[in-house]
Chains A and B, each alone.
Chain A
């Protein structure tokens, strides 16, 4: 069961309420709001513990280092990684996926090798491979989307070949809310001798995740989509694979020895963490995980699915609405279009009612083309939303449909 006073944990809601403009925030797939526990932790870190990590031979630096490494341990525990050293701190899921593409892809892929992606990928799991493809001449193939907005695993099998080197798919679609059967996808990839990469940007915040159970080689996620600060994210990598890989960025902290013309590198994860990391961000992410674990990730998942289903049903009663969401495996993401009303206009009308949603292509242009829309509106729910938010949303959408009701051509007044 979800506490019914979750909203109180997030000071932004009381702040806007006090300004007379209650905030109905339905854009958590873009970034979530931050609980007081995270905000206070950042404040406390900068007020009491700020120092660089892994460098200073003094107490304060040791304290900061300990806190930073405790955050790594917390993340590892949160997604059940086998050991903390298999977690690399990055800026976000995008950087994590770029790290894989550059550090693994550029050094392991050759002309004609194949990577299988899917038709529902975010640009962050497309564009890095486009770049690698231009460097190496690899071929990109795609798992098809079926009419219920789910991945067609038959098309995954058909795409496999002796040249398949990796299968990289999103765990939960940021547009459709579809939860993909990643365990099955990983199994199929491994049987074909390919590595399996999971983009967990939309799964880590919303459900229990166990990377060992999924069996993937890499799992990428962002902190800011799970109540953490912006600027911190992570990558889980199978440790043996991380050991074999070349570094991503070069600089301080990632080395053992440096000579004028050569250098050798530290062990993972430090090999992949060049320069001063986002120490406060990592510690803030740990606070976010503490907060979510207190609620319980299974509770989070159950609550969101129920609210998402309720929202899809309620919005489904609006005339002219089209909802892009699977019948059975949707999360708290509800994308839609309304006849005669452009998503950007929907967004403005909702904004005037205090409702924040996203309108656009959601960094998934190929998926938009597949759905034969230019853009969609998207309401994405999180633990601080409830059915009253759905009601305000639905009311504002009905208003939008009324404003844009088709009318006869006016006499031209000049």
Chain B
């Protein structure tokens, strides 16, 4: 296991210059996640419009892996429905667990986190943002749609 597999240029760039950093004023869904073992603390907020995630932001503090993962994730889920975002999360978990497969097409920049699979203690860092995203979704599928669209 080489450190270069973990701290890739893309990861370091997202860590030092994160995308979508901040909080959405009136989010449709939001959630907060912790990594108890290292103290990472992340908030994810989402704005749903016409059934798709129109905006996604994250805030909080954490290591390079958790922060870069959140930056990449918020880029990826924009324009996706909740169910599509959940599928992406599943795909992401498969990748960082070290499962074989071609993840590039769906996961984009997140493929830069593939090296995490060789560092088992860091898998939790990479998945924190994705778990927090999933936590923000209501369990009831009806509530996952954009209600404002129904009224029109």
> Which A positions have Cβ atoms within 8 angstroms of B?
340, 342-345, 348-349, 351-352, 359-361, 365, 368, 374-375, 403-404, 406-407, 409-410, 414
Whether the pair B121, A407 counts as a contact (CB closer than 8 A) is no
A217 to B141 Cα, complex, angstroms: 58
Give residues in B with beta carbon < 8 Å to A.
Answer: 1-3, 6-7, 9-10, 12-13, 16-17, 37-41, 61-65, 108-109, 119, 121-122, 125
CB <8 Å contact, B13 and A360: no
- B2: chain A residues within 8 A (beta carbon): 352
| B1 proximity list for chain A (CB < 8 A) | 352
Cβ contacts A to B, 30 pairs, < 8 Å: A342-B63, A343-B38, A343-B63, A344-B38, A344-B40, A344-B62, A344-B63, A344-B122, A345-B63, A345-B65, A348-B3, A348-B119, A348-B121, A348-B122, A352-B1, A361-B39, A365-B39, A374-B61, A374-B62, A375-B38, A403-B3, A403-B12, A406-B16, A407-B12, A407-B13, A407-B16, A409-B13, A409-B16, A410-B10, A414-B109
B62: which A residues are within 8 A, CB to CB? 342, 344, 374
Q: Which of A344, A345, A352, A374 contacts B41 (CB 8 A)?
A: A374
- Which of B6, B13, B121 touches A410 (beta carbons < 8 Å)? B13
Would B63 and A404 count as touching, CB distance under 8 A? no
| A368: contacting residue among B3, B12, B39, CB under 8 A | B39
* Residues of chain A with a CB closer than 8 A to B40's CB: 344, 374
Structural contact, B12 and A404, CB atoms closer than 8 A: yes
- Most chain A beta-carbon neighbours within 10 Å: one of B16, B41, B61, B121: B16
Specify which chain B residues have a CB less than 8 angstroms from the CB of A343 in the assembled complex. 38, 63
**Given A342-B64, A409-B13, are A414 and B38 also a contact pair (CB < 8 Å)?**
no
Shortest beta-carbon distance from B73 to chain A in Å: 15
Whole-angstrom CA separation of A143 from B13 in the bound complex: 43
Which listed residue (B39, B108, B119) contacts A374, Cβ 8 A? B39
A349 touches B3 (CB 8 A): yes
Please name all residues of chain A whose beta carbon is closer than 8 Å to the beta carbon of B121 when the two chains form the complex.
Answer: 348, 351
Find chain A residues with CB under 8 A from B122 CB. 344, 348
- What is the bound-complex CA distance between A194 and B149, given in angstroms? 65
Q: How far is the CA of A370 from the CA of B13 in the complex (A)?
A: 30
* Closest chain A residue, CB of each to CB of B19: A412
Residues from chain B with Cβ under 8 Å of A360 in the complex:
37-39
B126 CB, nearest partner CB in chain A, Å:
12
Residue of A nearest to B119 (CB): A348
In the complex formed, the residue of B with least CB distance to A365 is B39
Kindly provide the distance from the CB of A11 to the nearest chain B CB, expressed in whole angstroms.
24
Contact assessment for A409 and B37 in the assembled complex, using a CB-CB cutoff below 8 Å? no
Closest chain B residue to A344 by CB distance? B63
From A352, A361, A410, A414, B3 is in contact (CB under 8 Å) with A352
Residues of B with C-beta under 8 A to A345: 7, 63-65
Contacts A344-B63, A348-B121, A404-B12; is A359 near B38 (CB within 8 Å)?
yes
Residues of A within 8 A of B41 (CB): 374
Apart from the given pairs A343-B38, A349-B3, A404-B7, 11 other A-B contacts in the complex at a CB distance below 8 Å: A344-B40, A345-B63, A348-B3, A365-B39, A374-B61, A374-B62, A404-B12, A407-B16, A409-B16, A414-B108, A414-B109
CA distance A334 to B65 in the complex (A): 25
Q: Provided the pairs A348-B121, A348-B122 are in contact, do residues A375 and B39 lie with their beta carbons within 8 angstroms?
A: yes
Cα–Cα, bound, A410→B125 (Å)? 23
B9 cross-chain contacts in A, Cβ below 8 A: 410
Q: With a CB–CB cut-off of 8 A, which chain B residues contact A349?
A: 3
Residues on B with C-beta less than 8 A from A368 are: 39
CB-nearest residue of chain A to B17 = A409
> Closest residue to A409 on the B side, CB-wise?
B17
Distance between Cα atoms of A374 and B119 in the complex (Å) = 22
CA distance A348 to B124 in the complex (A): 13
Contacting residues, chain A, for B63 (C-beta < 8 A): 342-345
For the complex, give the distance between the alpha carbons of A359 and B39 in Å.
Answer: 9
Q: Which residue of A lies closest to B7 (CB)?
A: A403
Closest CB in chain B relative to A344 CB, distance in Å: 4
Q: How far is the CB of B135 from chain A (nearest CB, A)?
A: 20
Chain A positions within 8 Å of B39 at CB level: 360-361, 365, 368, 374-375
Which of these, B3, B13, B17, B125, contacts A344 with CB under 8 Å? B125
Complex contacts, A342 vs chain B, CB 8 Å = 62-64
Distance between Cα atoms of A348 and B6 in the complex (Å): 10
Bound together, the chains give a CA A6 to CA B16 distance in angstroms of 43
List residues of chain B with CB within 8 A of the CB of A375: 38-39
* In the complex, residue of chain A having the shortest beta-carbon distance to the beta carbon of B125: A344
| A409: chain B residues within 8 A (beta carbon) | 13, 16-17
How far is the CB of B34 from the nearest CB of chain A, in Å? 11
Minimum distance in angstroms from A236 CB to a CB of chain B: 31
Question: Could you tell me the distance in whole angstroms from the C-beta of A81 to the nearest C-beta in chain B?
Answer: 35
